[in-house]
Structures are given as C-alpha cells and as structure tokens.
Chains A and B, each alone.
Chain A
Amino acid sequence: MSKNGTKTPPESTPAGKPSKNTGPDKTIRKRAAQYSDRWSSYSLNNNITYISERLSAEDLRDYEIFREYSDNFLEKISPDIASVVWKKDALLFEEGTYIDLAFYVVEGEVEVSLEKGEKGTTTSEKVTAPGSAPPRGRADESRQTVFLDMVELSKELAKRSESKNITMLSAMDFNLPRDSKTRLGPGELFGEIGALSGWPQSVTARTLGDCRLIQIRLPALRLMKSKSPELKQHLDRLYRERSLYSQLKHTALFRGFGREHLEVLTDQVELVSLEPDQVFVHQGQPADSFFMVRSGFIKLLQRLGESDQVVSYLSKGQTLGEIELLIDGIDTWETSAVSVEYAELIKIPKRVILEVLAQQPKLEERLWRSAAERVRNNGMSRRNLSHSEFTQVALERGLVEGSSILVIDLTTCTRCDDCVRACAATHQGRPRFVREGDKIGNLLIPKSCYHCRDPVCLVGCPTGAIHRVGATEVVKIDPEICIGCSTCANNCPYDAIVMHDMDEKWPEDMIPSGLRGTPRLQASKCDLCYGTGHDPACVTNCPQGCASRLNDLGDFEHLFKGK
C-alpha cells in the first residue's frame, strides 16, 4: 500500500506464501473492516454543498435518531456519520447501485422512484451519478446494459438462481409499483436495507429541494441496531413494510405463493442480525425455528469427537431447519450454525412455518429437496474429512463468494505465463492479473477478480465506474469514468484490483475539482474479457489447459481433492 492509500502491483513475495493481505485471517479481518474511510469519495461530489467534520456526541444528540444512545457510544460511531447538505435535484443513488450507508432526512424532501426501465438506455446517461466526472469521449458500450431495468434484472437473476437452486434476494427498499414515486420527509430513514443486505438498490432517490441529510455508514448502522432494541424494531418494521413481502415472493422457497400466505409470514417473522462468529444455533438444542439467510455466510458445524467439523455453509437465500422440521423424531438441531461475517437472517417460528406448510403442500416438496441436499452434504462431510476441510478453506479464502475464480492447476502448469501474456494482449498491454496468489493444495488462486456474488468493491464508487454488467456476474470498470479514488481497490478483500499510475495528471477542467492537477490513477481488474466476444483469454490461451474459471464449489472441490 503506498502512502496515499492506493495499491500498487504486488510486491515481490513468493506466491503461495500468504502475502501481506492474503492469508485467511487477513482476509476475514479485511472483510470485517472493509467499510472504513469512505467519506472521501462522497466529498468529491459536486452536488454536495456542505459536508460536516466529525460530529460530536452533543451534535448528534440534536437528531431524534441518536437521542437514546450514550455519549461514549456516539463518540465511537461518530466517524461513520456525517451531516451533508445536497443541492436540489441531486441524485443520491440510482437503481442498480450499491450503497453502504443509510440516509436520515433532517430538512427537505427526497423523492424515491421506481422508474420505467427502458432497454438500451442507462440510468447513468439520464442523470449524473454522485460525484461523477463527466464521461470523456464514448463510454464503454457494455455500460449500455448496466442499469437496464431492475425488474428485468430480478427476473434474470431469479431465472439463473432457479436453475442453480439458489435464491438471490435484491434490496427492495420500497414496495413501489413500477413507474411510481413516493416522498420522504424529515425524520424518515432510507437506504438501510440495501446497505445492510449488500444488494443493489431497487429504486432511485433524488432530492426535491436543498436537503440536509444525516448519512450513517454501515458500521455505525450495525452498531446502532445492535445497541438499541427500539431502532432494531424500527428498522425491522421498515423492512417488513417496504421490502420483506417482495423479497419472500422472489425466493425459491416461496415463489408462486399467494399474498395471504406471505403476509402471514411477514407479520410473524423475526429479523436477526449477526456479528461475525456469532453462534445462533446450538447443536442438540430444541429446534423451534426456521431460518433464511438475507445476507452474509453461515457455516454449519457438527460435533465430531472433541472438535467441531464444518459440514456445510449457507449463503444468501438458503435456509436452515428443514431437517428438523420435516423428519419425525428430530426435534433438536442437527448442527450448530455460526456466522462467518456480518449476516442478516429471517427467523420464522416453527409454528408459523407449519401453518403455511399445512396450507401449501408444494412448500413441503421444496423443503424436502433442500433437506435432502443438507443430509447429503452433512453425510459427505462426516464420511469424508477432506470435504469438511475444503468447506472450511472455501469459507476462509472467500471462494464461496466468487462466481468466476481463476484457478491454475500447478501439477500441469509449465509456468510459461502465456495466460498473463494473453491477458495483456487483450487489454492494451496491461495484464489484469499476475500469476501469484494463494496456494491451496496444488491449486493456485491468482490475484484476479473473483467476480463476487456480493461485490463489496461496488460499494462507494463515487462515479459508478465499477459496475456489474447487466444480469451477468461480470464486474467491470469503465475506464472512461474511473477517477482513480481507490475506493474499490481498498474494498476488495482479495487484492484483485490494482491502481495503475497513468503517467499523466488530471486536466485543469476536471470535475470534481479536487482532482485537478493531481496524478491520474486508474483502477484495473479482470473483466472476464467481457465485450471481446471470446472466453477469458487466460483460459483459452493456456496450452496445458491448467487454467480454468470456476463458479461451482463442487468443481473446485473435485480439482482440490484430485491433487
């Protein structure tokens, strides 16, 4: 890390040895702390007329939302809170963007809208993203499909997830009908669902007049929520009102259910927030609930002799409790469950799910399918310790996050570097990865973008330069609008984004003005050769066939155990 906080290409450490930011512990720590130092990017925004210095406990107490907290607590969270005045018609966030903060309206009004999506146009063409530099020249064509239409995106995601038997939840902050608007005034909080769940916004928010907002970043929001039962209740209520129904409707488990059944659930579920490493289910204790993961990862452990063995893991949309619910004679939890990182869950009391089950026979079929998978996984882990070991490694190294992870089989790799050369040839001479990284068994995981299912690098990009391409898993940077703030590079837990010094300075007419005359940096990462019309060059140009892109942990495990 250089002194200005930007990452430079990897230092000369032997790959395979945990380098400064790789090893599992570092990764987990970094993931936990990845939301720090984020105000800098927002202050670049030219729609902001005022952004406060760090607020004191006394300042914060002026606002209703902070009144119940102690001075010590407010001092602790104050670095993650700012009072910001936005101009009229300023865009706070738009459909499809990722945010890591909630907004509390102090003065003025904010309009939240679900715009009518038009294919072939981008929202970013219609409005200027927060803090954006005006696009120079013709922006990347792939951006044309970025913010198509969140409904289309949800449909596509649902289609994909159905085929993979995975459910993807989107951050539906408001249950708005398409092409409609709503207004939020002083005392209202918004944006918190997207921030807490880590999913893209389903709506666009802009100020109606000059507007003073209190912006609360995720770490503070989480602490406030855990400290105050009232706030938790309030947030849960907002979530229930604005989002839960839509989210449940889109899960694989409850898809196709009538409103009456889902409303029974939305009224009676409990929303659970977990800290990293929090045990919320203990093996052997009475199983009285059913859980669904809203965000984060959960590992399932089973006692084996004196130690706990990882048998499986759960990610967004997956459920826990089917076995205990369905199989007669099993009334206690078969496994313990621990959060790997911050996680949000929906807890459904057993009584409630049994009621729905009695009315909806197809739910039972879906639950059986999920239970069978869980039993198979648990059994496999008990019989085969390497499965358990692999699951543990996959969780520690973040492999569960990746939708396309570059893997090199070192038992066949001749170290010819044709993969890197091909990558460079495809990207104007600048390779998007180096053949260095974590070594897991005889597999090398180079420092190349994982294209995470929950891409934290997207959070806080002031121009929206880093984006997900349409309904694909591809995470891409638009060089035309990247202002080199390094936010994405600092967020990435896997050091897969590198800041390149472009050997020039920003011009004097640059917007935002803070960058004028400063050295121009540009973020660079793997884009899976998107838009080139061919498969990733690293894979197609490997003469030994040892480079592959994996998106399925089963394939990964097969390769891992085969070596």
Chain B
Amino acid sequence: MCLGLLVANSFLDEIGPYTLWGMGYGIAATTLLVAVFLYALRRRSARIVSRLSLGRARSWLYFHIYGGALFLLLLLMHTGFRFPTGILARLMWFLSLWTVLTGLAGLALQRWIPRALASGLSIEVLYDRVPDLIEEIRRKAEALAATCAEPIQTFYAKNMAHTLEGPDRRWIYYLDITGGVQARLRRFDYLRDFLSTEDQSKLGELQRLYKTKLEIDAHYTLQRLLRTWLYAHVPAAVMLLALVALHIFTVFYY
C-alpha cells in the first residue's frame, strides 16, 4: 500500500516533507511510532491489559515488529528518500534508523539465543539468580575440596578457585554454547587416575559443580546479551519519540 501511495505521489506531486503527501506520510509514521511504542507500556500493565482483554502479548509483539519496519518506510517516504537537512531532522533520521536496526538485531537475537541455550546446556538458570547460584556452588566446592587429599586441593586452587569466584562472560559461548567445556573437564580426568576411590568420587562431585558453573556462565553470557540489547534499543526509541514531539511542535509553532 505504501509503495502504491509512493508511485501515485511521484506522478502527482514532488516527494518531500513539505508537500501534502509528505506531511501525510509524517503523520502516519508518527501515529505508527506511538502505536508501536504502546508495546512497551503493555509489558508494564499486564493486569489492566488482561482485564480489558486487549489481546495476547504475542500479537502485540508482532505489531511492534511489523509496525516498526513500516515506520521506517513511512519515514523515508516522508523525507523523500533524501538525507534531511537541519540538526533535529538529521538526529531523528539517525535515531529512527538506529532504533529499527537495533530492533531487527534484537529480533535476530531473540530467535538465536533461546535455541542456542536450549541446544547444548543441561540446566536452566534464572539470570537474576546467577550470582547467588555461583556463590552456592563456590561454597559447596570449597567445603568439599577442604576434605580432599592434597593433590585435589592443589588442583582446586590452581584450576577451579578463580573460575568459581563469580560469573564469567566468555566470547566463545557466542560461537559455541558448549565452548570448551569438555576440554576443561578433561583436566579432571588426568588427575583421577592418581586418586583413591574415595577421592575419585569427591573429584567427580567437584567436576559436576565445575560443569554446572560453566553452564551457568554460558547462560549468563547469552542472557546478558539479550538484556544489554535492550539498552541499545529502548533509550533510542524513547529519545526518538521525544524528538518527534519536539519536531511536531516546531512545525506547527513556526
């Protein structure tokens, strides 16, 4: 429909922000931007939305995604596919592009990260509880290591203690969710042959704790990316909305 309008516009009038057509595109883009922004409000008002039966969050998200993409098209039609002049206009143009592109990046992340997390990890972790979980693992491992023979204690101090200090983000998890876990666990196997049966079982328990920690790290790394992405998208969108309000005010006032 937009493309149809654009073709009609090109035959009937100049394509640009100051024509009636261009103003129309601008109004449509602004309306769409506000509508798309409502998704953020919906997430914070679940109770009211549910009570008023205003639709499922999934439908809202689809509208947010497609509406956001359409907004960019309308914006480009509004500017006549030209780079705008003026600081405010340029800033809005950049912010629009940035918001839509980060939105698309977020969409890609939301498709990729859940699959990655589900594909190779045996545990599921709540992001907010990662530090607590690691602290718990560290305490358990430390207490267990203290009861072990000297070689295990040395091994613990050298290979495990620093890993268990806190959550670690590792780049390798972006490429391979099980990134090097097996290689790291193999170190335990080298030591196992030199231990008594009792210590072997303790080492086995330490190995299990260590593996859990590495899997938590993988969750932490990827879930953090999903959360960090919001900082790239949401503030820009809010700023864009504010600038659009300012833009409308200046257009009508001056």
Stretch at the interface among B78-86, B97-105, B118-126, B196-204: B118-126
Q: Count chain A CB atoms within 10 A of each CB in B45, B124, B226 and give the residue with the most.
A: B124
Give the size of the chain A interface in residues (CB under 8 angstroms): 39
CB-CB < 8 A to B115: which residues of A? 411
Q: A533 vs B50: C-alpha distance in the bound complex, in angstroms? A: 8
Are B114 and A413 touching (Cβ within 8 A)?
A: yes
Shortest A281–chain B CB gap in Å is 37
CB-CB < 8 A to A413: which residues of B? 114
Shortest B247–chain A CB gap in Å is 30
Shortest A447–chain B CB gap in Å is 12
Are A543 and B58 touching (Cβ within 8 A)?
A: yes
Are A422 and B46 touching (Cβ within 8 A)?
A: yes
B117 within 8 A of A: yes
Stretch at the interface among B10-18, B127-135, B143-151: B127-135
B165 within 8 A of A: no
CB-CB < 8 A to A534: which residues of B? 50-51, 53
How would residues 414 to 428 of chain A score, 1 for a CB under 8 Å from any chain B CB and 0 otherwise? 111110011001100
The one of B46, B114, B117 in contact with A541, judged by C-beta atoms closer than 8 angstroms, is: B46
Chain B interface size, as a band, is 20 to 34
List B20-63 residues whose CB lies under 8 Å from chain A.
Answer: 43, 45-47, 49-51, 53, 56-58, 60-61
B113 within 8 A of A: yes
A55 within 8 A of B: no
Shortest B136–chain A CB gap in Å is 6
A542 within 8 A of B: yes
A180 within 8 A of B: no
Are A425 and B43 touching (Cβ within 8 A)?
A: no
The one of A13, A412, A414, A426 in contact with B226, judged by C-beta atoms closer than 8 angstroms, is: A414
A2 within 8 A of B: no
CB-CB < 8 A to B124: which residues of A? 14-16, 410, 436, 439, 444
Are B57 and A533 touching (Cβ within 8 A)?
A: no
Q: A506 vs B129: C-alpha distance in the bound complex, in angstroms? A: 33
Q: A540 vs B53: C-alpha distance in the bound complex, in angstroms? A: 10
A541 and B132 contact, Cβ closer than 8 Å, known pairs A410-B124, A434-B126: no
The one of A434, A535, A537, A545 in contact with B46, judged by C-beta atoms closer than 8 angstroms, is: A537
Are A537 and B50 touching (Cβ within 8 A)?
A: yes
Closest to B116 in A: A411
CB-CB < 8 A to A15: which residues of B? 123-126
How would residues 211 to 237 of chain B score, 1 for a CB under 8 Å from any chain A CB and 0 otherwise? 010011000000100100000000000
Q: Is the interface of B mostly helix, strand, loop or mixed?
A: helix
B110 within 8 A of A: yes
CB-CB < 8 A to A434: which residues of B? 126
Q: A544 vs B65: C-alpha distance in the bound complex, in angstroms? A: 12
CB-CB < 8 A to A411: which residues of B? 114-115, 118
Q: A518 vs B46: C-alpha distance in the bound complex, in angstroms? A: 36
Q: A434 vs B128: C-alpha distance in the bound complex, in angstroms? A: 12
List A120-162 residues whose CB lies under 8 Å from chain B.
Answer: none
List A484-504 residues whose CB lies under 8 Å from chain B.
Answer: none
Are B58 and A436 touching (Cβ within 8 A)?
A: no
Are A16 and B123 touching (Cβ within 8 A)?
A: yes
Closest to B213 in A: A14
Are A418 and B114 touching (Cβ within 8 A)?
A: no
Shortest B50–chain A CB gap in Å is 4
Q: Count chain B CB atoms within 10 A of each CB in A14, A422, A537 and give the residue with the most.
A: A14
CB-CB < 8 A to B125: which residues of A? 14-15
How would residues 1 to 21 of chain A score, 1 for a CB under 8 Å from any chain B CB and 0 otherwise? 000000000001111110000
Are B58 and A545 touching (Cβ within 8 A)?
A: yes
CB-CB < 8 A to B110: which residues of A? 414, 544
Are A540 and B56 touching (Cβ within 8 A)?
A: yes
Are A533 and B51 touching (Cβ within 8 A)?
A: yes
A435 within 8 A of B: yes
A163 within 8 A of B: no
Q: A540 vs B215: C-alpha distance in the bound complex, in angstroms? A: 30
CB-CB < 8 A to B60: which residues of A? 543
Closest to B115 in A: A411
The one of A415, A439, A540, A543 in contact with B61, judged by C-beta atoms closer than 8 angstroms, is: A543
CB-CB < 8 A to B223: which residues of A? 415
Closest to A413 in B: B114
A544 and B58 contact, Cβ closer than 8 Å, known pairs A413-B114, A414-B113, A425-B47: yes
A307 within 8 A of B: no
CB-CB < 8 A to A545: which residues of B? 56, 58
CB-CB < 8 A to B117: which residues of A? 410, 415
Q: A444 vs B50: C-alpha distance in the bound complex, in angstroms? A: 24
Shortest A498–chain B CB gap in Å is 16
How would residues 150 to 186 of chain B score, 1 for a CB under 8 Å from any chain A CB and 0 otherwise? 0000000000000000000000000000000000000
Closest to A540 in B: B56
Q: A532 vs B50: C-alpha distance in the bound complex, in angstroms? A: 9
A442 within 8 A of B: yes
Are B50 and A426 touching (Cβ within 8 A)?
A: yes
Are A17 and B122 touching (Cβ within 8 A)?
A: yes
Are B126 and A436 touching (Cβ within 8 A)?
A: yes
CB-CB < 8 A to B113: which residues of A? 414
Q: A414 vs B136: C-alpha distance in the bound complex, in angstroms? A: 25
CB-CB < 8 A to B57: which residues of A? 418, 540-543
A425 and B122 contact, Cβ closer than 8 Å, known pairs A12-B129, A415-B223: no
CB-CB < 8 A to A563: which residues of B? 118
CB-CB < 8 A to B114: which residues of A? 410-415, 544, 546
The 3 closest A-B pairs by CB, nearest first: A422-B46, A16-B124, A425-B47
Residues of A within 8 A of B (CB): 12-17, 410-418, 421-422, 425-426, 434-436, 439, 442, 444, 529, 532-535, 537, 540-546, 563
What are 14 pairs between A and B in contact, CB < 8 Å? Answer: A13-B136, A14-B212, A14-B216, A410-B114, A415-B117, A421-B46, A425-B47, A434-B126, A436-B124, A533-B51, A541-B56, A541-B57, A543-B60, A544-B110
Residues of B within 8 A of A (CB): 43, 45-47, 49-51, 53, 56-58, 60-61, 110, 113-115, 117-118, 122-127, 129, 132-133, 136, 212, 215-216, 223, 226
Known: A416-B226, A439-B124, A534-B53. 8 other contacts (CB 8 A): A12-B132, A17-B212, A418-B57, A425-B46, A439-B122, A444-B124, A545-B56, A563-B118
